Chain A
Amino acid sequence: MRSLAALFLTVLFPFAAAFAALNDAQEERAEALFNELRCVVCQNQSIADSEAGVAQDLRAIVRDQIAAGRSDGEILDFLVARYGEFVLLSPPLDWRTILLWGAPFILLVAGGFIIWPGRRDTGDLKTMELNAEEEARLKKLLERE
């Protein structure tokens, strides 16, 4: 029912922003949420970027719910229940997305372990010192110059 009302309002007033009167802090929350939500019919746009009907509809719903005192989490849950997880531009961390979210950490740790000084002799400075014979050769070479 709420969405029908929202839809009705959006059709009548293309810029529904003027409608649910939010204070500055609430408006900031709304805009942050807009960037987290996908315009479900668009290519790859958040509802903040899109002028499609669905995006306007979703913006109105978010504003409505903020005005009604819902928390950000409740609003996202409400929209996920409605549109599926597809609506979230940043997927929640669970076992299905563990690889996605975990990849940077795993790679950084694994990479760090591989390059960790001391694991290879690349870090061993002793081998960088010249022995007496090499020292003599170096001296000779320098003198020739």
Chain B
Amino acid sequence: MTVELGHFALVLALALSVVQSIVPFFGAQRGNARLMAVGDVTSNGILVFTTLSFAALTYAYATSDFSLVNVWQNSHSQMPFLFKLTGTWGNHEGSMLLWVLILALFAAAVSWFGGNLPLSLRANVQAVQGWLLLTFFAFIIFTSNPFQRQALAPEGQDLNPILQDIGLAIHPPMLYLGYVGFSITFAFAVAALIEGRIDSVWARWVRPWALVAWLFLTAGISMGSYWAYYELGWGGWWFWDPVENASFLPWLSGTALLHSALVMEKRDALKVWTVLLAILTFSLSLLGTFLVRSGVLTSVHTFTSDPSRGLFILTILSIFVGGSLTLFALRATRLEQGGLFAPISREGSLVVNNLLIATATATVLMGTLYPVVYEAITGGKISVGAPFFNRTFIPLAIPLVLLMPLGPLLAWKKGDLLGAMQRLTLVAGFSLLAMVLVMAFISPGKWLAPIAIGIAVWLMIGSFAELWQRAGFGKVGAGAGLRRIGGAPATVWSTALSHFGVGVTMLGIVVVTAYETEDAVVLQPRASVEAAGFTVRYDGARRTNVANYEETIIDLAVMEDGDLVTFARPSKRFYPARQMPTSEAAIMNFGFSQLYIALGEANADGSVSVRIWWKPFVTLIWLGTIFMVIAGAISLVGRRSGVPRKMKSPKAVPADA
């Protein structure tokens, strides 16, 4: 019964989305306030019905209702309860329902927080969201309906084992909040183009929502990366896999959007470019959804591939991306440019930032799509993998990282490059010192790793240069200086922390890439081996039957200088329902570094094959993203406290208003 209610609620939501697509739009065309206000009602109605629908599906999963095709295909009665719940979105249909639920949430958010928006802008935004909702409801109901019934089956076919993990509980919702969050900025951009004008209210609205989406996307990607790291058992944390790239692309262009929206908000410049980025970012989100859902790329994320779905998503993609870009081409010239600035200025530095990030985005996009297009045209197969991306992305990232501490030190409108560089002398000194020390003591004869570490140090310390400058410890003493730092605007803090986070992530990447060690060893019972600076002894193996899988666990004792440090218990699981094995690595923290042991095979003669990695500073990779998320949150909260934050440093350009 609940299943039918959920199904019915979904159809009602579709019906309401038809209303929302049409009525507010005509209201805005005719200047009719009552028609325009309809969007507020429909968007909340859609959210309620979509939530009901999603709840019904979740309930079916929680109660293992195998009369539903979707539940039967992707669940198992013996699965832990948490995974039964998260299994709701561990499949194509359920994850699309989650996708559209989040879309509905963001559409309703416009009615909740949009009271101060011009009526026609709000109506147009809601109409655009209505079009998105309508297409995706239609997609779900006609090609991917999770509420299809079948004759009751006794047992389910189980969830893909590698998705039976706490990482999956959080990763997709986070990622979707990010992906779909950019639908708001997209709707605002299209609405602005429809209206043919754009003002400061627009920018003040777009930036926080871009920030919200960016926050969740950052967290989602980071979690996905850590999940791949510990669950796949290869010890890698980023593979430049097409599906990873699909999430990285909107992140990159979203990062560019945040920075250009900042210029637009503060200085009323870069309007056209900001609108374009808002369109591109969500287009990349849609592209990601297409790539992952259509089966063009096969991976663990694809679940099932069905050509009719692929075609449907491709149509959605062409209509929205093609339509919005055409609209942009036709109407963008109407948006007036404002806010002049000199090349050497805060704005100028942000333009360079945007150029580099946009190029990097295009490069990753090219590399991701090239093999698909190449095969379609020539019939031949080529690979574009990690070495390509490293060779093209890193040379673009390095100048960006080098400029990151410099940008915030330049004043708006017209900056003093020499002065800014002088203020970074000390930072440059520290960074050189780090290079020299690493070269002298850690990797003599090598130059790549020390230089990269030096650059990371440059960014980490240099990120705080603006705060340091504001404090002016030399002039006002420690107490007053600290008070000044504490009183610095939220944007200054969030800039510093987010840039610092990028530096931390970079340091982790560089150190683990340059200095990790990997040993593949075969261990006989009670024998030990030297690896990663430890002595690892094999104590024995156990087999257990747990819920819906059987597990082989091996006991290893990790010793250093004859003293026991810890026990490691890597294991292999076998899931009979899907006939799939998974590997559960044993991961031990040593400060920021990790000892990572994965079980290869338990051999017939009683020996085991094991891979042992020493991953120095690896946790910094994810720790850095936590700083970025905190920084984004600070920026959001700082805005909400009401006071419009203006630049108030003594050197600031007065003409900010």
Query: Is the Cβ of A122 less than 8 Å from the Cβ of B386?
Result: no
Within 8 Å by CB of B600, from A51, A91, A97, lies A51
Q: Is A78 an interface residue (CB 8 A)?
A: no
Q: Is A17 an interface residue (CB 8 A)?
A: yes
Q: Is B67 an interface residue (CB 8 A)?
A: no
Q: How far is the CB of A116 from chain B (nearest CB, A)?
A: 9
Query: Is the Cβ of A111 less than 8 Å from the Cβ of B355?
Result: yes
Within 8 Å by CB of A90, from B352, B385, B600, lies B385
Please, how many angstroms separate the alpha-carbon atoms of A50 and B233 in the complex? Answer: 10
**Category for how many chain A residues contact B:** 35 or more
Q: Is B590 an interface residue (CB 8 A)?
A: no
Query: Is the Cβ of A125 less than 8 Å from the Cβ of B383?
Result: no
Query: Is the Cβ of A123 less than 8 Å from the Cβ of B343?
Result: yes
Within 8 Å by CB of B362, from A84, A87, A104, A125, lies A104
Q: Is B363 an interface residue (CB 8 A)?
A: yes
Please, how many angstroms separate the alpha-carbon atoms of A46 and B241 in the complex? Answer: 11
A49 touching B363 in the complex, CB below 8 Å, given contacts A90-B387, A104-B396: no
A89 touching B387 in the complex, CB below 8 Å, given contacts A14-B609, A111-B355, A121-B340: yes
Query: Is the Cβ of B359 less than 8 Å from the Cβ of A111?
Result: yes
A89 touching B383 in the complex, CB below 8 Å, given contacts A14-B601, A108-B355: yes
In the complex, 15 of the A-B residue pairs with CB atoms within 8 angstroms, ordered by the A residue number, are: A14-B609, A35-B386, A43-B299, A49-B234, A51-B600, A86-B383, A91-B382, A99-B366, A103-B363, A104-B359, A104-B362, A115-B352, A117-B348, A121-B340, A122-B337
Within 8 A of A (CB), among B495-550: 520-522
Query: Is the Cβ of B520 less than 8 Å from the Cβ of A128?
Result: no
Q: How far is the CB of B234 from chain A (nearest CB, A)?
A: 5
Q: Is A72 an interface residue (CB 8 A)?
A: no
Query: Is the Cβ of A122 less than 8 Å from the Cβ of B341?
Result: yes
Q: Is A124 an interface residue (CB 8 A)?
A: yes
Knowing that A44-B242, A128-B413 touch, tell me 10 more A-B residue pairs with CB under 8 angstroms.
A38-B383, A43-B241, A85-B381, A89-B386, A97-B370, A101-B392, A103-B366, A122-B269, A122-B337, A125-B414
Within 8 Å by CB of A103, from B340, B362, B601, lies B362
Tell which of A90, A96, A124 has the most Cβ of chain B within 10 Å: A90
Query: Is the Cβ of B370 less than 8 Å from the Cβ of A15?
Result: no
Please, how many angstroms separate the alpha-carbon atoms of A111 and B276 in the complex? Answer: 14
Query: Is the Cβ of A17 less than 8 Å from the Cβ of B385?
Result: no
Q: How far is the CB of B276 from chain A (nearest CB, A)?
A: 12
Within 8 A of B (CB), among A24-63: 35-36, 38, 43-46, 49-51
The B contact surface, by secondary structure, is: mixed
- Which residues of B sit under 8 angstroms from A112, Cβ to Cβ? 355
A43 touching B522 in the complex, CB below 8 Å, given contacts A35-B387, A99-B366, A108-B359: no
Interface string of B323-367 (1 = CB under 8 A from A): 000000000000001001111000010011001101110110011
Q: How far is the CB of A80 from chain B (nearest CB, A)?
A: 11
Interface string of A76-94 (1 = CB under 8 A from B): 0000000011111111000
- Which residues of A sit under 8 angstroms from B298, Cβ to Cβ? 43
- Which residues of A sit under 8 angstroms from B429, Cβ to Cβ? none
B interface list, Cβ under 8 A from A: 234, 236, 239-242, 269, 298-299, 337, 340-343, 348, 351-352, 355-356, 358-360, 362-363, 366-367, 370, 374, 378, 380-388, 391-392, 395-396, 413-414, 520-522, 600-601, 603, 609
- Which residues of A sit under 8 angstroms from B413, Cβ to Cβ? 128
Please, how many angstroms separate the alpha-carbon atoms of A135 and B603 in the complex? Answer: 86
Within 8 Å by CB of A123, from B342, B386, B396, B601, lies B342
Query: Is the Cβ of B241 less than 8 Å from the Cβ of A96?
Result: no
- Which residues of B sit under 8 angstroms from A91, Cβ to Cβ? 382-384, 388
Q: How far is the CB of A27 from chain B (nearest CB, A)?
A: 12
Query: Is the Cβ of B343 less than 8 Å from the Cβ of A44?
Result: no
Within 8 A of B (CB), among A1-39: 14-15, 17, 35-36, 38
A45 touching B234 in the complex, CB below 8 Å, given contacts A104-B396, A107-B358, A107-B359: yes
Q: Is A127 an interface residue (CB 8 A)?
A: yes
- Which residues of A sit under 8 angstroms from B340, Cβ to Cβ? 121-122, 124, 127-128
Please, how many angstroms separate the alpha-carbon atoms of A131 and B100 in the complex? Answer: 54
Q: Is A100 an interface residue (CB 8 A)?
A: yes
Q: How far is the CB of B632 from chain A (nearest CB, A)?
A: 26
A90 touching B391 in the complex, CB below 8 Å, given contacts A46-B386, A104-B363: yes
Please, how many angstroms separate the alpha-carbon atoms of A100 and B239 in the complex? Answer: 19
In this complex, what residue of A is CB-closest to B611? A51
Query: Is the Cβ of A44 less than 8 Å from the Cβ of B341?
Result: no
Q: How far is the CB of A142 from chain B (nearest CB, A)?
A: 9
In this complex, what residue of A is CB-closest to B382? A91
Please, how many angstroms separate the alpha-carbon atoms of A123 and B603 in the complex? Answer: 70
A100 touching B236 in the complex, CB below 8 Å, given contacts A86-B382, A91-B382, A111-B359: no
- Which residues of B sit under 8 angstroms from A14, Cβ to Cβ? 522, 600-601, 603, 609
Please, how many angstroms separate the alpha-carbon atoms of A104 and B269 in the complex? Answer: 26
Please, how many angstroms separate the alpha-carbon atoms of A46 and B521 in the complex? Answer: 20
Please, how many angstroms separate the alpha-carbon atoms of A51 and B391 in the complex? Answer: 25
Query: Is the Cβ of A15 less than 8 Å from the Cβ of B236?
Result: no
